[in-house]
Structure 1
Amino acid sequence: MIKPVKRVAAIHDLSGFGRSSLTAIIPILSTMGLQVCPLPTAILSTQTDGFEDYSFIDLTDSMERYINHWHKLKIDFDCIYSGFLGSPKQINIVSNFIDLFKTNHTLVVVDPVMGDNGKLYDTMPFSMVENMRTLITKADIITPNITEAAYLIGENINKDTIVNEDLIKDWCIRLSDLGPNIVIITSVPDSSNDKNTSVVAYNKEDGVFWKVSCKYIPTFYPGTGDSFTSVLIGSLLQGDSLPIALDRGVQFISTGIKASYGFKYPNREGILLEKVLDTLKLPVMISSYEMLK
């Protein structure tokens, strides 16, 4: 039986306030015409960046019962998409989920959320890096930022690291050697223009590298990584090519930041998704992707 709408299993935490994780993923993918089936790893009163004393309910012990019910119902998914995971046990549960539900037609996307700005998050022990290296062997696509990419291949990155295209291409290849067919590294400084930031992707199947750049805006909103990967997935499941999907993801985040930057509100609340979701329904506008040699 052909499903009228493609279906995504989204394995992430849920924050009651703040536009990140499932709070961002569900509206983005739904707007792009996909059914989102959330598998919450935890429930928080707010997202963690910029907030203190938040309520945190760990759902690790409930996840397997949740998954077993889906398996009993014989639910199938066009995409399995995991993000922030709070423990090695959760990584193992996601690994087993992939084994249960992946078919030849299932796209598996792992966003290995572990750190930023050259270091791991305070709540992230190094054992998570070792376990995440195992999980990404089962992914078709991974979307680490440059810090996470460095940790996954055992490299160090700091303010003195010279980041150029040769280094990023080498890292992409080394990450793909761990298993994923497509590696997408975000938050890459643009060596050709220090006023830009870029996303670089490598497709192992054809050996091609892609790059999408955008003007750097001096601000930060939590949850933009979740939003980027969600738009990327939605675009691919709509039938777009990899470079177009990358372009759409970068355009959406750039538009969201620009739409939010002029308002005076706490950045910790995330970009104003509500003001830009409808742009996902517009015709595809190709802007800035390029093939790297």
Structure 2
Amino acid sequence: MIRPVKRVAAIHDLSGFGRSSLTAIIPILSTMGIQVCPVPTAILSTHTGDFEGYSFVDLTDSMEAYIEHWHKLNIDFDCIYSGFLGSVRQINIVSKFIDLFYHDDCLVVVDPVMADNGKLYTTMTEEMVENMRKLISKANIITPNFTEAAYLLGEEYNTDINEDKIKKWMIRLSEMGPNTVIITSVPDIKEDKTTSVIAYNKEDDVFWKVSCKYIPTFYPGTGDAFTSVLVGSLLQGDSLPIALDRGVQFITACIKASYGFKYPHREGVLLERVLDTLRLPMTSSSYELL
């Protein structure tokens, strides 16, 4: 039976305030016509960036029964998409989830959320990094940022990186298992005040790049939003470079729509003002072959 709507299992935390994780992923994918079936790993009153005193409920102990019920119901998915995971045990649970639900037409996307700006997040350890290396071996696509790519490879974080070296990094990451490696927030040394998203498709041995002007601000949740648009675009039938382009254009539009307003940036980008653009056809593209 062909489903009228594509279906994604989204394995992420739920932060009640701050437009990140599931509170960003669900509206983005739903707007793109995708059914989102969340597997919450934890419930927080806010995300952990620049908030103090937040409440935190760890759902690790309930995840296996939750997943087993789905398995008994014979639910299947067009995509399995995981993001921030809070412990080695959660990584192992996600690994088992992939074993249970994967099939030939299922896209497995792992966003190895662990670090940024050269440092691991406070909840992350070297043991978590090692187990994340095992998890990405089961993915079709991974979307680490530049810092996370360095940690996965055991490389030193250094923003002075050339095109040849980043290509070698991506090939090495693909050799760990995934067919497609996408690194976000890559510093572009050729052009000042520019950042890039670079992708490598192992099957075709092709590199793609989408660049955008760097805007001097930071909003939590943009990584979740980018990967969500990427997933939605691919499930709609777009090519990899078009999906990259749509993700970058959407995040750029979100930041531009938000930057002019005076409000705490820890609340995230103003998704509500930009969501409708995801229904519009692509009118231009800026991707290039490397």
Alignment TM-score, normalising by the size of structure 1:
0.98
Report SS of the residue matched to 2:43: strand
Distance of 1:218 and 1:211 partners within structure 2: 21
Query: What residue is the counterpart of 1:238 in the other structure?
Result: 236
Structure 1 residues 254-278: Cα deviation after superposition (integer angstroms, max 9, x where no partner):
0000000000000000000000000
Distance 1:155 1:35 in 2: 38
> What is the aligned partner in structure 1 of residue 195 from structure 2?
197
Cα distance per residue 1:180-210 (max 9 Å; x no partner) = 0000000001122111100000000000000
Residue 250 of structure 2 aligns with which residue?
252
Aligned to 2:205: 207
State the Cα deviation string for residues 89-119 of structure 1 (Å, max 9, x = none): 0000000000000000000000000000011
- For the residue of structure 1 that corresponds to 2:274, the secondary structure is helix
Per the alignment, residue 87 of structure 2 pairs with 87
Trace 1:250-289 onto structure 2 (pairs within 5 A).
250-289=248-287
Structure 1 unaligned runs (5+)? none
2:48 is equivalent to residue 48 of structure 1: yes
Determine helix, strand or coil for the equivalent of 2:197. Answer: strand
Q: Distance in 1 between matches of 2:13 and 2:142?
A: 18
In structure 1, the residue matched to 2:174 is: 176
**Where in structure 2 are the equivalents of 1:88-167 lying within 5 Å?**
88-158=88-158, 161-167=159-165
Equivalent residues of 1:244, 1:286 under 8 A apart: no
CA contact under 8 A between 2:9 and 2:79: conserved in structure 1? yes
The root-mean-square deviation of aligned C-alpha atoms, in Å, is 0.6
Q: Which residue of 2 aligns with 1:78?
A: 78
Aligned to 1:59: 59
Identity of aligned residues (%): 80
Q: Distance in 2 between matches of 1:288 and 1:144?
A: 21
Q: Distance in 1 between matches of 2:208 and 2:264?
A: 34
List runs of 5+ in structure 2 lacking aligned partners.
none
Query: Structure 1 stretches (4+) deviating beyond 2 angstroms?
Result: none
Does 1:39 find its partner at 2:39?
yes
Please tell me the residue identity of whatever aligns with 2:75. Answer: I
Give the counterpart letter for 1:169 in structure 2: K
Match of residue 10 from structure 2: 10
Q: 2:33 is matched by which residue type in structure 1? A: G
Residues 135-175 of structure 1 deviation map (CA, whole Å, 9 limit, x = unaligned): 000000000000000010110114xx421111111110000
**Could you tell me how far 1:285 is from its partner in structure 2?**
2.6
SS at match of 1:138: coil
Q: Distance in 1 between matches of 2:41 and 2:284?
A: 36
Would you say how many aligned residue pairs link Structure 1 and Structure 2? 290
Q: Distance in 1 between matches of 2:114 and 2:80?
A: 19
Q: Which amino acid aligns with 1:260?
A: S
Instruction: Name the CA distance, whole Å, in 2 between partners of 1:65 and 1:284.
Output: 41
Provide TM-score, normalisation by structure 2: 0.99
User: 1:39-86 CA distances to partner (integer Å, 9 max, x unpaired)?
Assistant: 000000001101001000000000000000000000000000000000
1:219 aligned onto 2:217: yes
CA distance in 2, matches of 1:178, 1:287: 30
User: What letter corresponds to residue 231 of structure 2 in structure 1?
Assistant: I
| 2:186 and 2:198 in contact (8 A); partners too | yes
In structure 2, C-alpha distance between the alignment counterparts of 1:129 and 1:223, rounded to whole Å = 21
For 1:227 and 1:49, the matched residues in 2 are separated by 16
